[in-house]
Structure 1
Amino acid sequence: MIERIWSGQSPLWLLLLPFSWLYGLVSGLIKLSYRLGLRRAWRAPVPVVVVGNLTAGGNGKTPVVVWLVEQLQRRGVRVGVVSRGYGGKAAHYPLLLTPQTSTGEAGDEPVLIFQRTGAPVAVSPVRADAVKALLAAHPLQIIITDDGLQHYALARDKEIVVIDGARRFGNGWWLPAGPMRERAGRLRSVDAVITNGGEAHTGEIAMTLQPGLAINLQTGEKRSVDSLPQVVAMAGIGHPPRFFATLEQAGVQPVKTISLADHQALDEAQVAAFINDKQSLVMTEKDAVKCREFARPQWWYLPVDATFAGSQADELVDTLHALVR
């Protein structure tokens, strides 16, 4: 239903417009308070790069963060990542992630980034505190923030926005009548726009998500996903249909698809009930970090990597690399 409202297909968005105006007014006043100097943003002693979005829901932001971290690491740059840690509840903040940190403490996306890249990661509702904790523990040269485009309390050197190329901006209205955290005009002030799927507009960097081999959660075995028997697909991300479409493009027609809420907590009994003994459960990597501790033999996940054509993406990384020279 929410997708129909945000796309403008359902007239119910009109009933929500007063709440959207209020949302836009409050967010606009917060932004203005920083511009006028009524509030001060904290500036880190190293460059800070924000990777965020203008809309609610999954846009492919986390794969972009992973890609940027890996690209900078290959250039010899010491990179750290900070996040709000949505979906987690730590005993204290800021929280520096370790191999023992659970998704219940840090949230699923920070754990995924930490496990995939090996980069230092810290979470805190106050992102400046997370940056300070990282810099106190590691000699980092640059910080990437996973989300936080609208978190103006942390000064930034570069802003990157990730767009869902298929859905774009829906009906264009602020939450809750539409999907927007900020209006589309905000794109004029950012440093780069990455468009995930669909058709990239002029000046945007086109990106696709390329699936790898399916990986067994219990054994680490890797297999082509189309070789798995009777696939049941599970996705707890911002836009589950994207994952199901990725499976279909890989030659898999799931016998069943299960859409979960973004960042939804999972337990063994709940997940085990999704399949029978003859079926294979294939989930996103984001779900896998929540299920690894209680995984069963038929559970697999399908990692995806951000891929780019042309030279624009490499030029973006070169620009970020230049910040630390």
Structure 2
Amino acid sequence: PQEVKSLESGRFGDEPVLMKSKLDVPVFVGPKKNETAKMVSDLKKVDVIVVDDGFQHRKLSRDLDIVLVDTTMEPELFTLLPSGNLREPIENLARADVVVLTKCNLSENLEWYRKTVAQYSELVLESDFEVSLPKKRAFPVGPKVVCVSGIGNPRQFEESVKKLLKPSKIQTIRFPDHHRFTDADIRRIQRAVSGKETLCVTTEKDQIRLPEMGIDWVVPQAQFKWRKNAETEFEKLLKSRILDRQKRK
């Protein structure tokens, strides 16, 4: 296990580096979550350790399990691998203390997710996903756009770019999630924008991994937003678990 102390995505991974760049908190990575958490508790004076992707991690005792459900996923994929995207049966959502429905503002199946998840979870909160352009930059009307992405859901990113920039022409260059860009990839991207007045758009996560190539990237900012009174409900739950843990010390 080690602390993320630089923005080297090749060493630490793109998501940990992105967290480090955005959050004023220590970020640690390691092959085993329980060992990494032990290292954090030994080295840092912390009240809370947030573990990414820890719902299936049996060796790490937890005080609060939060499961996020992407409501833009087609309902037929809300089933076990390999036919779907789930690592556990749907009924195991009952183990979670709270389920957060995400991207509700972009979902065509929100009611289905509400009804399905409510069968297994007593506390279901909702959130939206909003994307905005950098405010300190002016953009032309109807620009030509090249979208470069290596993420799990490139179509959603590309649709957001279309809504924000309303391009006259758009070219998409897709890579697998967490892709490490090769020299051939860089040449491919440079050819797509060579000699053209084109806006080159990528995601925050991809910008972390993209090497310097003389391109003035447009990087839309993604933002998570709670719906209705969800933030109040979540904070109440979080504070109660922290207090419970402190009482047991």
Q: TM-score range by the shorter chain?
A: 0.7 to 0.9
Question: Aligned pair in 2 of structure 1 residues 192, 249: CA closer, same or farther (>3 Å)?
Answer: farther
Preserved CA contact (<8 Å) 2:204 2:220: yes
Query: Structure 1 pair 286/138, CA: closer, same or farther in 2 (3 Å)?
Result: same
2:236 aligned partner, one-letter code = D
Contact 1:229–1:279 (CA under 8 A) maintained in structure 2: yes
Query: Secondary structure of the equivalent of 2:239?
Result: helix
Q: Which residue of 1 aligns with 2:133?
A: 213
**Could you say what secondary structure the match of 2:49 adopts?**
strand
For 1:257, which of 154, 172, 175 is the aligned residue?
Answer: 172
8 Å Cα contact 1:96/1:133 also seen in 2:
no
**For 1:136-285, what aligned pairs fall within 5 Å after superposition?**
136-197=42-103, 198=107, 199=110, 201=114, 202=118, 204-214=124-134, 222-223=136-137, 229-253=143-167, 255-267=170-182, 268-277=186-195, 278-285=197-204
Mapping of residues 1-325 of structure 1, within 5 Å: 94-98=1-5, 100-197=6-103, 198=107, 199=110, 201=114, 202=118, 204-214=124-134, 222-223=136-137, 229-253=143-167, 255-267=170-182, 268-277=186-195, 278-291=197-210, 293-325=211-243
Question: Higher relative contact order at CA 8 Å, sep ≥6: structure 1 or structure 2?
Answer: 1
Aligned partner of residue 50 in structure 2, secondary structure: strand
Q: Which runs of 5+ in 1 are unaligned?
A: 1-93, 216-221
In structure 2, C-alpha distance between the alignment counterparts of 1:177 and 1:208, rounded to whole Å? 27
Identity %: 25
Q: CA RMSD in A?
A: 2.3
Provide the aligned length of Structure 1 versus Structure 2: 224
Q: Quick check: 2:200–2:215 contact (8 Å CA) kept in 1?
A: no
| Partner SS, residue 257 of structure 1 | strand
Instruction: From the superposition, tell whether residues 228 and 159 of structure 1 become closer, same or farther in structure 2 (CA, over 3 Å).
Output: farther
**1:166: how far off?**
2.1
Letter in 2 for 1:208: D
CA distance in 2, matches of 1:305, 1:194: 15
Alignment gaps of 5+ in structure 2: 244-249
Q: Secondary structure at the match of 2:156?
A: helix
TM-score normalised by the chain length of structure 1? 0.63
Partner secondary structure for residue 51 of structure 2: strand
Verify the 8 A CA contact 1:232 1:255 in the aligned structure 2.
yes
* Rounded Cα–Cα distance in structure 2 between residues aligned with 1:206 and 1:226: 35
Q: What's the secondary structure of 1:142's corresponding residue? A: coil
* Contact 1:214–1:225, Cα closer than 8 Å, also in 2: no
Distance (Å, rounded) in 2 between the aligned partners of 1:184 and 1:246: 29
**What residue in structure 1 maps to residue 247 of structure 2?**
none
TM-score, normalising length from structure 2? 0.80
Q: Distance between the aligned counterparts of 1:226 and 1:147, measured in 2?
A: 40
